[in-house]
Amino acid sequence: MRRLFDSELRYIENVLRYRNGGTLAVVGEVETEYYSSPRNNAPTHFNTDYFLQFSNDLENGKSFCAPILPNTAGAEVFVMIDTRTRTLLRTDLVAGEAFPIELYDSFLDNIDLKLMALPRRFAIRECAYNRVFVINNEICFLSFPTESSPVVRGDKSLLNTGPDSMIAYYTDNAEVVCVDGWIRTSVAQSDWKLEAIPK
């Protein structure tokens, strides 16, 4: 079991705001988590599907979803809450790899700029595991340079905190294990949607 990373809690709150789903009253620990392998044997995990479950009692659950990339349809993250207690029950990423990493370039550039102050720098696009969601004008990201799925390891430090961003990083024996955070951004909404076609 583990607690949520900061970016995970932030995107969950953003999905609920996006769908007028209200606020959470209780956020427990992750009881079960699963991460799929990359499609087409890609060398890195970029927005690969996963789920995190916080309870086995889903009877009173209601789901909310949001696209993970603005002006698109077909790659969504779902959040399920208990309607009586406002408790977080589960979150799933579905078809996260529907859109290539190149469509996220401007958002990844924003992340790179914020990470310039890291004690040990690395290329965000080359991380073994990357999760990047852009919901409600915020980029929520979780990146592991060498781990192929999220792990909680090392000491947490704050790189940046303020009204427009919050970024933390974890280090273990001077190695950066992961970066975790969110950055406020500007997104132009369009009447046109890029739609993923199932294969």
pLDDT tens digits, one per residue of 23-39: 999 999 999 999 999 98
Predicted confidence (pLDDT) per residue in 88-122, tens digit: 999 999 999 999 999 999 999 999 999 999 988 88
Q: What is the pLDDT of residue 197?
A: 67
Quick count: other Cβ atoms within 10 Å of Cβ 19?
13
Decide if pLDDT at 13 tops 90. yes
Helix, strand, coil shares of the chain, percent, nearest 5, are 20, 40, 40
Write the pLDDT tens digit of every residue in 37-60.
998 788 889 999 999 999 999 999
Closest CA to 176 of 157, 189, 161, 191: 157
Average pLDDT over residues 73-91: 96
Average confidence score pLDDT of the chain: 94
User: E-assigned strands of the chain?
Assistant: 32-35, 45-46, 50-53, 61-67, 72-73, 76-82, 88-94, 129-135, 138-144, 155-162, 165-172, 175-184, 194-195
Using alpha carbons only, what angle is made at residue 37 by residues 39 and 183, rounded to the nearest 5 degrees?
A: 90
* In the predicted structure, residue 141 carries a pLDDT above the cut 90: yes
Closest of 183, 135, 188, 182 to residue 18, by C-alpha: 135
Q: For residues 172-178, give the mean pLDDT.
A: 94
* Confidence band for 143, pLDDT divided at 50, 70 and 90: very high
Tens digit of each residue's pLDDT (9 = 90 or more) over 152-171 = 999 999 999 999 999 999 99
